[in-house]
Structure 1
Amino acid sequence: MPVPRGPGLAPRSLLRDEAYRAIRDAIVGGTLAPGERLNDNDLVEWLGVSRTPVREALARLEQAGLVQTRPGRYTMVSPLDVRAARNAQSVTAAMHELAVREALPNLSADEIDVMRAANARFAEALRHDDVDAAIAADDDFHAVAVQASANQALRDVLEQFTPVLRRLERLRFSSLSGRESVAQHELIIARCEAGDVAGAAEATRANWETLAPLLDTDAPESTG
C-alpha cells in the first residue's frame, strides 16, 4: 500500500480514535484507493502506534463501511458502493435537519458569524475549484449547528455516515458542482438569524438533498 506522506501520530496520541481518524481521512481523501490492500506493518510504521490501536481502528472502519476484512486473508479499502452512499445521504440530511431544530433556539450571534465565515471560505474555494477546501468549509458550516445541538447521539450517527458520502463525492468528481450551495447556506443563515426554526431546518435538509443527483450515475449499486 502507498504510505501517505507527512508525519505520523505523536507518541502521546496512541489512541484508536486517532488511528481511526488518520486512516479514515486517507480513505476519504483518496490516498488509500478503493481495493487497496491495507498492511498492518505499513500502518503501524506510518502512524507510529502499536498493532492494537491499528486493528481496533480497522474494525471500526469496517463497521463504517470503509474497510473490508477477510480474516486470515486480507484487509482492504472497500470498493465504492453507490447504494450505501445514497443511504448515507438520506441519513445525513435528516440528522443535519434535526441538529438545526435542536440548536437554533440557543444559537448565538457569534455562532451565526462562524457559519457566515465558513460559507465565505466555501464560496472562495469553489471559485478556485479547490474541492478539498470546499468540502472542509462545508463541514465547518454545518458543524456549528451539530455542535450547538449538544446531541451526542446525533454526532455519532454523522461520524459514521458522513465519510461514506464525502468519499464518493471526492472520488467521483474532479470538480465540485455546488455553487448553488452558497446561496442555500445564505438562506439557512438568514432563517437562523430570524429565529425561524422550521424554515432553517427545511433549508438545511434541502441543502443536503442537493447531493442526491450526484449519486444518480450509471455506476453499479455495489462494486463489492
Structure 2
Amino acid sequence: MPIPQLTDQPPAPRRLLRDVVYDKMFAAIIDGTLEFGERLNDEQLVAWLGVSRTPVREAIAKLADQALVDIEANRYTRIVDPTYDEFVDTIDVGYGVWAMVVERAVPKLSDAQRAEVVRLLDARAKAFAAGEADDVTTLVRVNELFLEAARSSSLARLWSNNAPRLALLAQRPIFSGVVHHDEARAFNEALRDAVRDGDAAAAAESIRLQPGRLQGWFDAVREAGIYRA
C-alpha cells in the first residue's frame, strides 16, 4: 500500500460524539420520526443511536436549550408540542431575525459567496417551480454563507438561539405535505435577485414581509392539525 504523503492542508475537524447524536436527534424531530409531545427514554435512545448515555444526555440538553425538548426534573423529558399560535409567532419572529442577518451580510459577501448564494437560491426556486420537496441542506448552506459574511458574533448567537426552533416549526408542515410551492418559488426568486444585485434593503425586506404573505399556508397548516389549537 502506498504511504500517504503529508500535505499542508489542516486535518479535518473531528466531530464530538454528542454533536453527531444531536444531529441525528434533530433530524428525527424535524421529519417527525420523533413526534410532538413524545416522551424520550434514555435506554431506547441509547439502543437506537448505538452510543452511551452521556452523549445522549448532552444532546438532549442542547435540544432543550433550543426549545425543542421540554424537561421537567424527575417527571419527564419530551419533544415540544407547540400550539398553532406558537407556530405563527415563531415564523414571524424567526424571519425578523433572519432579515437582520441578511441585511448585514449582503453588502459584505465576497464574489464567491454571492455567486454561491445566488446559485443555491436559484436552485431552490426551480425546485419549487417543479413542485419538488424542500431541500433543507441547501437553505442551511445559504444561511452559513450569510453568517460568515455578516461577521457578527451577536447576530450569530441570536440566530443559533432562534434558527433550530424556526427550522422545526417551518419544516414539519413541509414534511407533512403542506407546501405552497408558488409562494416559496416567488420568495426565493425575490431573495435571489436582491442578493445578486447587492441590495441589502430589498433582501431584508423580502424576508421581513414574507410571513405576511403566508396566510394561505398558515390556514392550510391549521386545517391539517399539525399543531395544537
TM more than 0.5: yes
The answer to whether residue 98 in structure 2 is matched with residue 96 in structure 1 is yes
Change (3 A) 1:39 1:182: same
CA distance in 2, matches of 1:101, 1:140: 17
CA distance in 2, matches of 1:153, 1:208: 24
CA distance in 1, matches of 2:87, 2:148: 24
Any residues of structure 2 matched to 1:168-183 within 5 Å, and which?
168-172=169-173, 173-183=176-186
Q: Determine helix, strand or coil for the equivalent of 2:70.
A: strand
Which letter does structure 2 place at the counterpart of 1:19?
A: V
Shift of 1:149: 0.9
Q: Determine helix, strand or coil for the equivalent of 2:192.
A: helix
CA distance in 2, matches of 1:193, 1:123: 14
Shift of 1:106: 1.8
Q: Determine helix, strand or coil for the equivalent of 2:67.
A: coil
Please, which moves more after superposition, 31-40 or 199-208? 199-208
CA distance in 1, matches of 2:113, 2:129: 25
Shift of 1:30: 1.0
Shift of 1:103: 1.3
Task: Find 1:119's aligned residue among 106, 118, 121.
Answer: 121
Shift of 1:209: 4.8
Preserved contact between residue 131 and residue 175 of structure 1 (Cα < 8 Å):
no
Larger Rg: 2
CA distance in 2, matches of 1:127, 1:194: 22
Preserved contact between residue 104 and residue 195 of structure 1 (Cα < 8 Å):
yes
TM-score under structure 1 length normalisation: 0.77
Q: Which runs of 5+ in 1 are unaligned?
A: 1-11
CA distance in 1, matches of 2:19, 2:183: 35
Q: Report the equivalent of 1:150.
A: 151
Shift of 1:211: 4.3
Q: What is the root-mean-square deviation of aligned Cα atoms in Å? A: 3.0
- Identical aligned pairs, as a percentage? 31
Q: Report the equivalent of 1:3.
A: none
Which letter does structure 2 place at the counterpart of 1:131?
A: A
Q: Report the equivalent of 2:162.
A: 161
TM-score under structure 2 length normalisation: 0.75
Q: Report the equivalent of 1:202.
A: 205
Shift of 1:212: 5.6
Any residues of structure 2 matched to 1:1-224 within 5 Å, and which?
13-127=15-129, 129-133=131-135, 135-172=136-173, 173-207=176-210, 209-211=212-214, 213-216=216-219, 217=222, 223=228
Q: Report the equivalent of 2:3.
A: none
Q: Determine helix, strand or coil for the equivalent of 2:171.
A: helix
Please, which moves more after superposition, 124-133 or 26-35? 124-133
Change (3 A) 1:103 1:132: closer
Shift of 1:40: 0.8
Q: Which runs of 5+ in 2 are unaligned?
A: 1-13
Shift of 1:208: 5.3
Where does structure 1 differ by over 6 angstroms across 4 or more consecutive aligned residues?
none
